[in-house]
Amino acid sequence: MFIDAIIDSHVRVPSSTGTGERYLEFIIAGALQQLILVDGHPRCAYQVTLQVTQSPRNDNVNGKVAQAQVKLASVPALLHAAMLALLAASVPLKEIATCVVVATPGEALRQEPIGNPPAVVMREAKSLHLLGFASNGGLLLAESEGECTLEEWARGYLLSWTEEENPDHNNGPNMGQLLRTLVKAKTALEAYW
């Protein structure tokens, strides 16, 4: 007997990696399990299928997408797409989430962590960290690849939290602010009758 709703995620990437896809699905499903109100909807199944249609030109190495980039760099886009799809489908959520990739540069580069790094920096980075935050500011995801010290990880954590909360320091669009705006607009539209 099912007690909670089931979350099923499928990820399709241009260069099929098999276990890499399963790893991405595991990360996305785990995050969504914490965000969707699964206990209030027994015997329901939420199936989220995400497809990566293209990747930036400069992240190909010998015709194949670098494995570290497939695993971690695509998760923010996948999670943000899943959040937007769930909001559009009016799926009841506990909270919303955003995430960012942080690179700890190698010895040849500067020592400060880099948020939302370009593919070139990711290839040469000593370590990559995927950090996701729920709308209440709590840590939702923490995945790392490579070697780093606890101090380097802590600096990456602080940078990622700053990137999510402060749009002045963000290299791209502030997804947290965008999702909050969409939730307010969707709530106002649904309540207007």
The 10s digit of each residue's pLDDT in 140-150 is: 999 988 888 88
Higher-confidence residue: 130 or 20? 130
What does R_g of the chain's alpha carbons equal in angstroms? 17
Which range, of 13-17, 84-88, 94-98, 147-151, averages the lowest pLDDT? Answer: 13-17
What are the residue ranges spanned by the domains of the chain? 6-191
The one-character DSSP state at 95 is -
Strand order in the sheet with 97-105: 114-115, 97-105, 125-134, 139-146
Instruction: Tell whether the torsion through CA atoms of 187, 7, 163 and 120 is positive or negative.
Output: negative
Residue 165's pLDDT band (cuts 50, 70, 90)? low
Q: Is the four-CA dihedral 170, 176, 179, 181 of positive or negative sign? A: negative
Q: Is 44 left (phi over 0), alpha (psi -120 to 50) or beta?
A: beta
pLDDT, residue 57, reads: 56
Mean pLDDT of 159-172: 61
Q: How confident is the model at residue 163 (pLDDT cuts 50, 70, 90)?
A: low
pLDDT score recorded for residue 108 = 54
What CATH number is given for 6-191 in this structure?
3.30.230.70
d(CA 101, CA 23): 16
Of 130, 171, 146, 161, the residue nearest 31 (C-alpha): 130
Does the pLDDT at position 1 exceed 70?
no
Residue 21 in tokens? 């896809």
Encoded tokens for 24: 């991405």
Q: What 3-state DSSP class applies to 34?
A: helix
Q: Is 6 helix (H, G, I), strand (E, B) or coil?
A: strand
Q: Which pLDDT score is estimated for 63?
A: 47
Tell me the percentage of the chain whose pLDDT exceeds 90. 16
Give Cβ neighbours of residue 57 (< 8 Å, ≥ 6 apart): none
Kindly state the helix (H) or strand (E) to which residue 10 belongs, with its residue range.
strand 6-12
Tens digit of pLDDT for each residue in 55-80?
655 545 544 445 545 578 888 989 99
